[in-house]
Structure 1
Amino acid sequence: MSLLPVAEAQARLLALAAPLEIETVPLIDGVGRWAAEDVVAIRDQPSHDLSAMDGYAIRHAERPGPWTIVGESAAGGGLDRPLGRGEAARIFTGAPVPAAADCVLVQEEAERIGERLAMVGEGPRGIGGNIRPQGIDFRSGSKLIPTGRRIDGRHVALAGIGGHATIAVRRRPRITLISTGDELVPLGKPTPGASLPASNAPMLAGLLAGWPVEVRDHGIVPDDLDRIADAFSNAAGEADIIVTTGGVSVGDHDFIRPALEKAGARLDFWRVAMRPGKPLLAGTLNSAIVLGLPGNPVSSYVTACLFLLPLIARMGGAAHPLPRTRTVPLGAPLPSNGQRQDYLRARLVDGQAFAPDGQDSAALMALAAADGLIVRPPHVPRAEIGESVEMLYLA
């Protein structure tokens, strides 16, 4: 089986998935998820002409006065009648402008003696001066949030002021993490001989902590065909995505592929032209999507960023599920690249990207210190200091 280009593998993985069912939740519970429907305003904002300053509501044509003050307008409640000729109203920021008034004289340019008012400065420049017109932000019927936009606190405020208390989103994908390997032991336990702490599942759970998902850690499964197949079958009944780490290469103890076949899964692709992360696997088992990540921790993390996170976004209804890169200048040269797409752990120093030595797929120090991954397409020539490269930022 030949190596798939990264973009083709991502497209094939996303084609296996569809957005999950829609549910309506309180606005705050939609944060981090994607709008499943357009959010449309059901009110104007502001709903009335409002004063942008503290001062006095007047008619512009009557400048420079004098006026008689006949009442006041404060935020939340306005004057209960229109202004007559020669009349003014005390007004405060955010308060509705009285009917028949067409500008606001700021208080620094006003002189008040009892109920008499005169202008002592230049005054408002014209009709509408110091007024926020009704609907200047948006009108009822305006699209506030498009389908597929990820929701954050700004969108909560926008939808709330637009008249909404809830939002339609896709339900959270259910993810089961399965770690495979005879060498693995739970975190904190002794590691005799060549055994290793099982750090991949906690690492992935940490990566997903800010994502709208439900994560279940199935634990460690030894390198046994039947037990791995049973783990797949058990997970398939409750998970939307089954994520494995380890066992996807070509060694005698790499049982993920045969275990999937034994469980009745359909393999879609295996092995991608990327470094780190070549032995990546994807398929389906019943209604679940299976994503087999490499066992080396850096490979597991990088492939999760490039494949698992976009898959979650696709199921969540994201308009643009694939990660986006930014262009940055190099702070040190990079050699020419071979046939695979490289993802180099890199630091940003004074806006320049540096990819240190130590890019081994089992070396976690460079990953933990990295600000992002420099993307090096296949067969690109040597890159010099100052040249622009694409960088995928890490959270």
Structure 2
Amino acid sequence: MLSVKDAQSNILENIETMPAEQIPLTEAVGRVLAEDLSARRTQPPMDVSAMDGYAVKHTDIQSVPANLSVAGEAPAGGSYNAEVKSGEAIRIFTGGPVPKGADCIVIQENTEREGEQVTILQSEPEGRFIRPAGLDFVEGDVLLQKGRLLTARDVALAAAMNRPWIMVHKKPKVAILATGDEVVMPGDPIGPNQVVSSNSLGLAAAVKTLGGEPILLGVAKDTPESLKNMAAGAASADLLITTGGASVGDHDLIRSVLGENGLDINFYKIAMRPGKPLIFGQLNRTPMLGLPGNPVSTLVCSVMFVAPALAKMLGLDAEIFHSKKMAKLGCDLDENDQREDYLRSIIDIGDNGELIATPYSKQDSAMLAKLANAQALVIRPPFAKAVKKGDTVEILELPNSLLSL
């Protein structure tokens, strides 16, 4: 059996990054830059006021109170085009261009206005409350690098850089195919020996969260013809994910049927719990991941294998969706066998602020409710020795949301 690390490496070596496409900035959040993004303007483009008040010469207000004549105003979006002379003040507003000759701003709270005269009540040093041209960035500065996953903050910055269109990596189209006579979709009639499929919808949600576009192909029956016909729907996809049918039973047809229809298998079986019967290969040059049918196995494998695969396809670091930390154990654990364990766990915060991870006592791969409520997976290496409550272990966090500002 292949190790989890070797399986991940094999998948990443055989996955290609998606090509670039141009999109409007309005659709950029959550996308990955395919090129460095440089500013098309200087921000601010000229010296501007940081406050509402009066633009003056600081030499005129070294002794206060100082009486000055109001010679005009400089609103945001407008300007005072003459040069400020000694003894003059210009009414200015936040964002207004600082007129030539003025070198500081006195905020309006520190003034008294009467008609066209203003009394300055507090002295200010040269440069006070002035944002100089280029304070934020200068035209040509590269502010967002290729491979960046764009947040709301990045979109705001790109807008300020005057970039209405950007180049990003295309979203990979991921075809999802469930298999098995025992499986029906939610809401469909359920036979006496059937179960409701959670895998397809859970995987589709994961793919969408990870930046891909899911394509639900439905549920293939346990016949060669049904599997062959439904798998053909993945011809235009960038990645095919199947669930179920990857084991060694008489009705597990993924390897046999798809093997006769162009499936070239890179590996089969990994030393992992949950998730041992996992297939990776190419179906007529489309990368294919064959995940186990048990719902917990499917979703844990999506964390460990689908997430890094999609990250590479999007031009991201393969570990970007993996948040690994160290934590204290909340209970004793027995020694491990040859498979790497991923134990659904809850997280508490200790008195000293440390993370405390407590695995559920039952870890059956059909128990989806515990995965939904888990906050982390405790990772136990193959042949790990028994550990006690309070010992340190590695965890993989399962955040409630991947959305970020």
- TM norm structure 2: 0.90
Name the residue aligned to 1:152: 151
| 1:70 is aligned to 2:60 | no
Name which of 384, 387, 391 aligns with 2:389: 384
1:292-339 alpha-carbon deviations (Å, 9 max, x no partner): 010000000011122112222221222445532242533612414333
2-side partners of 1:376 and 1:250: how far apart? 26
Q: Contact 1:235 / 1:242 at 8 angstroms: preserved in 2?
A: no
Q: 1:115 to 1:204 in 2, by over 3 A?
A: same
Q: 1:146 to 1:334 in 2, by over 3 A?
A: farther
Aligned residues: 390
Name the residue aligned to 1:277: 275
Name the residue aligned to 1:368: 372
Amino acid aligned to 2:141:
S
1:354-390 alpha-carbon deviations (Å, 9 max, x no partner): 2222211110110111123222233344153273533
2-side partners of 1:69 and 1:267: how far apart? 81
Structure 2 stretches of 5 or more lacking a match? 350-354
2-side partners of 1:312 and 1:320: how far apart? 8
Amino acid aligned to 1:346:
S
SS at match of 2:208: coil
Q: 1:221 to 1:320 in 2, by over 3 A?
A: closer
Q: 1:283 to 1:76 in 2, by over 3 A?
A: same
Q: Contact 1:147 / 1:319 at 8 angstroms: preserved in 2?
A: no
1-side partners of 2:330 and 2:319: how far apart? 31
1:201-260 alpha-carbon deviations (Å, 9 max, x no partner): 11212223334333222111122234323433x134211111100011222222111222
| 1:171 is aligned to 2:170 | yes
SS at match of 1:330: strand
Q: Contact 1:298 / 1:364 at 8 angstroms: preserved in 2?
A: yes
Residue 198 (structure 1) shift: 1.9
Q: Contact 1:230 / 1:263 at 8 angstroms: preserved in 2?
A: no
SS at match of 1:307: helix
1-side partners of 2:285 and 2:263: how far apart? 10
2-side partners of 1:259 and 1:79: how far apart? 78
1:231-250 correspondence to structure 2 within 5 Å: 231-232=230-231, 234-250=232-248
1:96-134 alpha-carbon deviations (Å, 9 max, x no partner): 21122111111222233332333323x32x321111221
SS at match of 2:91: strand
Amino acid aligned to 2:365:
S
Name the residue aligned to 1:136: 135
1:231-380 correspondence to structure 2 within 5 Å: 231-232=230-231, 234-320=232-318, 322-330=320-328, 332-335=330-333, 336-350=335-349, 352-380=356-384
1:138-172 alpha-carbon deviations (Å, 9 max, x no partner): 11111121111111211111101101111111222
Q: Contact 1:306 / 1:323 at 8 angstroms: preserved in 2?
A: no
1-side partners of 2:282 and 2:320: how far apart? 20
1-side partners of 2:95 and 2:324: how far apart? 40
1-side partners of 2:188 and 2:274: how far apart? 28
1-side partners of 2:55 and 2:133: how far apart? 16
- TM norm structure 1: 0.92
Most deviating of 155-164 and 190-199? 190-199
SS at match of 1:220: strand
2-side partners of 1:236 and 1:188: how far apart? 24
Name the residue aligned to 2:81: 80
Name the residue aligned to 1:4: 2
Amino acid aligned to 1:252:
D
Amino acid aligned to 1:372:
A
Q: 1:248 to 1:138 in 2, by over 3 A?
A: same
Most deviating of 30-39 and 291-300? 30-39
Amino acid aligned to 2:327:
P
Name which of 38, 46, 60 aligns with 2:36: 38
| 1:192 is aligned to 2:191 | yes
Name which of 20, 23, 28 aligns with 2:21: 23
Residue 342 (structure 1) shift: 1.7
Q: Tell me the C-alpha RMSD between the 2 structures.
A: 2.0
SS at match of 1:218: strand
Structure 1 stretches of 5 or more lacking a match? none
Q: 1:73 to 1:383 in 2, by over 3 A?
A: farther
Q: Percent identity?
A: 38
2-side partners of 1:162 and 1:270: how far apart? 49
Amino acid aligned to 2:152:
G
2-side partners of 1:300 and 1:367: how far apart? 11
2-side partners of 1:135 and 1:243: how far apart? 49
Residue 181 (structure 1) shift: 1.0
2-side partners of 1:104 and 1:204: how far apart? 58
Q: Contact 2:207 / 2:213 at 8 angstroms: preserved in 1?
A: no
SS at match of 2:260: helix
